[in-house]
Amino acid sequence: MRENHPWLKRITKLGLILMVGVNMNACAGLPGLGGTSWKEEVLLHDGSKIIVERSQIREGRHMIGQGPPIKEHTITFTPPGSNKVITWKDDFTEDVGRARFSLLALDILNGTPYIAIQPTSCITYYKWGRPNPPYIFFKYVDQQWKQISLAEFPVEVKRPNVLIDTYGHGDVDRAVSSGFVSAASAKEINSSLKQEELKTILRTPIDRQGACPPPTGPDGLPIPINMMGEKISSWPK
């Protein structure tokens, strides 16, 4: 029996190494833990499709029983007919305590990429001028994302076309952890979202009564919007 002891120790050690490796790989693929990435098929306004790469990191303060918030997320893609890789990234900021926006739509018109995003908090909503409908738009020109108005956003882009709620639950977990999300899957998952502004890209103001009311000053009076608004001409590099 003594002759077998060294082999038993080696087998036990090998088993522990394999278990650690399996656990690390499992954690790397779970949307609710740390960082994760996946490829996603995006249906463009003209019926064509592109494959993009998305990633996100979940980290930060959170309530007991809830997972950490999305700290940052990115989408990377190459426009059709181009070899230029383009990235949009939303970073963590201290005032918000998490990522500032949800990505709603990515489309390409006449070779120019456009995105539509939505604030994830009232703080972000205030800082970006309390838009109504509640979107912020950008187009990619001169190698950077520049903010544009609703009127400048192509009317051909009529609805969200990316997976919106990537926080991590049920169908989202299963889709993201598979490593690939089809355009049909993203559309089906998004169909559970009830807000009208998440079903289509609205072009007229909506009733947002009770949602992010204007902030008030020490006197209890609303702070003028132009003191809170923050027109950003280009996306931070």
114 pLDDT above the threshold of 90: yes
Q: What is the pLDDT of residue 20?
A: 38
The model's pTM: 0.75
Q: Which of the two residues, 101 and 107, has the higher pLDDT score? A: 107
Task: Write the pLDDT tens digit of every residue in 152-169.
Answer: 999 999 999 999 976 655
| CA-only gyration radius of the chain, Å | 22
Banded model confidence at residue 73, pLDDT cuts 50, 70, 90: confident
Calpha distance 190→209 (Å, rounded): 24
- Indicate the average pLDDT of the chain: 78
Task: Write the pLDDT tens digit of every residue in 210-235.
Answer: 778 776 666 665 555 443 344 455 65
- What secondary structure does DSSP assign to 74-141, as a single string? EEEE--TT----EEEEE-B-TTTSSB-EEEEEEEEETTEEEEEEEESSHHHHHHTT--SSS-EEEEEE
Axis-axis angle for helices 170-177, 183-190 (nearest 10): 170
Banded model confidence at residue 59, pLDDT cuts 50, 70, 90: low
138 pLDDT above the threshold of 50: yes
* Beta bridge partners of residue 89, listed in sequence order: 74
Give phi and psi for 134, each to the nearest 5.
-80, 60
Q: What is the pLDDT of residue 23?
A: 38
Task: Write the pLDDT tens digit of every residue in 187-207.
Answer: 999 998 889 999 999 999 988
How far does CA 12 lie from the centroid of its chain?
43
